[in-house]
Copies of this chain bind each other. A is one copy, B any other.
Amino acid sequence: MFGFFAPLRIAHLNSTPFSTKERILGAAEELFARNGFAGASLRELTASAKVNLAAVNYHFGSKDNLINEVFRRRLDELSTHRLEALQAARDKAKSTLEDILAAFIHPALALSVDKPGGATFVRVLARAYAEHNERLRKFLSENYGHVLKEFAAAISAELPHLDKEELYWRIDIIAGALTYAMADFGVIKRRGSMSEKVHRERAAEHLIRFAAAGLRAD
């Protein structure tokens, strides 16, 4: 038989198309979105990822660190795209407030529409906002706080008449609204006839116009 029907195995690759670490991250994303960080157990998680219970601690050290890595996997790229889009908006001859808001919103939209699991991750992101978890807030602030600072400065430059306090209030409100809208929270369900992609693209359009109007009010 000379192993004619032996399973093909390629070096460094799992028998499945995804490595153990990637399967864990994917399952974690899904379960954290559905049950929260405290509500998702490692046993449920590892069963869903089809890996051994001990694999989480072997590859990530702890559940807390796994949570960090779930964010890092998506936020590194998202932050880069947002800052690139912001730079492009600033380089335009006549950049508007809408351009800046789009630079923040569109990369998140692209993530949630194009990347598999992206939509799920945006829901995890909204959970991180809602949870007052001090450890997680510190991790996110230390690693990605500079992005929000850049956008706040750009909006401030666009609305020089607005004093800092008022501006921060409005940005605060927008951040919350964005997170909710993109995460598809809220009570009103989308119509079944509309696809997920169209649904989210409209949300982004509405949010940009809505936010711009709110920022310009008075």
Contact = CB atoms under 8 A, between A and B. Distances in A.
A38 interface: yes
Interface string A202-218: 11001101110110111
Interface residues of A, number: 48
Contacts of A174: 177
A141 interface: yes
Interface stretch (A42-50, A84-92, A180-188): A180-188
B38 A169 contact: no
Given A187-B141, A213-B214, A172 B166 contact: no
A203 B173 CA distance: 9
A170 B210 contact: yes
A137 to B, nearest CB: 9
Interface in A154-210: 165-166, 168-177, 179-181, 185-188, 191, 202-203, 206-207, 209-210
Q: Is the interface of A mostly helix, strand, loop or mixed?
A: helix
Determine how many copies of this chain the complex contains. 2
A172 B148 contact: no
Contacts of A172: 180-181, 186-188
A98 B16 CA distance: 57
B218 A214 contact: no
A160 to B, nearest CB: 19
B169 A176 contact: no
Contact of A132 (B34, B180, B214): B34
Given A127-B130, A130-B127, A213-B217, A176 B175 contact: no
5 contacts: A36-B36, A129-B130, A129-B186, A175-B186, A176-B186
